[in-house]
Amino acid sequence: MSIRRGRVGTEFEGLFGVRAVRRGPADKIPGAFKFSDEVVYFKTEKEAKNFLKNKAKYKRAPLKGGVTKADDPTKLKKIDSYVKNFEKRFNRKPTAKNVVENLEGASNRQLVEYQKQYQKLPKGAAVRVTNAQKDVVERRGYVVEEALELIYRGQCNVAVKAKEIGVSTEELKRLFRVYAMQRPIDEDVWRGDVELGWPWA
């Protein structure tokens, strides 16, 4: 393989080119000045010779069939969704190992890239979530939903209910606003659903 001069009258005129398919700035080739689809161009012949001599060092390893790139945006978004959902349910971030072990298709390479682009995750062994913890989360979700329904029907006080179920009044107010927005009022249903409480019953 030889070094060739850039064609006269083109943007590569005066440069020294070495054939190398699909290379670009991301390859960080020393002295590389411009790129075409099949050639890397250098300002000096010495730089071109140096690349030619060490070309194998900068050879791209082809991806194996079925292998996903570590920085694949779809995969990183899927990891981020898992992390957010885990944190919402258990009030803590999962470790990187936890994600790899529990999220189908997640790899260590992707977790390294995720932490570069999104956020750092705790180090250490996978965070073990016991069945008891899962049960608490599920029960808590049910209790909160039941409380929101009672507030929506006007059958209990927000502050009293918040204390009863172990959340702050502000948090229960926030959840109720979302809950109410998702439940448009049907006046006929509302009238038929009103239950008189003490001391009017």
Longest Cα–Cα distance of the chain, Å, equals 99
pTM: 0.37
| Phi–psi pair at 2, nearest 5 degrees | -120, 170
For residue 64, the SS3 value is coil
pLDDT in tens, 114-152: 999 999 988 766 555 445 444 444 445 556 778 888 888
For 142-178, write each residue's pLDDT tens digit.
Answer: 567 788 888 888 888 889 888 887 878 888 888 788 7
Task: Summarize pLDDT for 12-35 with one digit per residue, the tens.
Answer: 889 999 988 778 787 788 899 988
Q: For residues 192 and 174, give the distance between their C-alpha atoms in angstroms, rounded to a whole number.
A: 27
Indicate the angle between helix axes 73-90 and 108-117, nearest 10 degrees.
80
Quick one: average pLDDT of 176-186?
Answer: 69
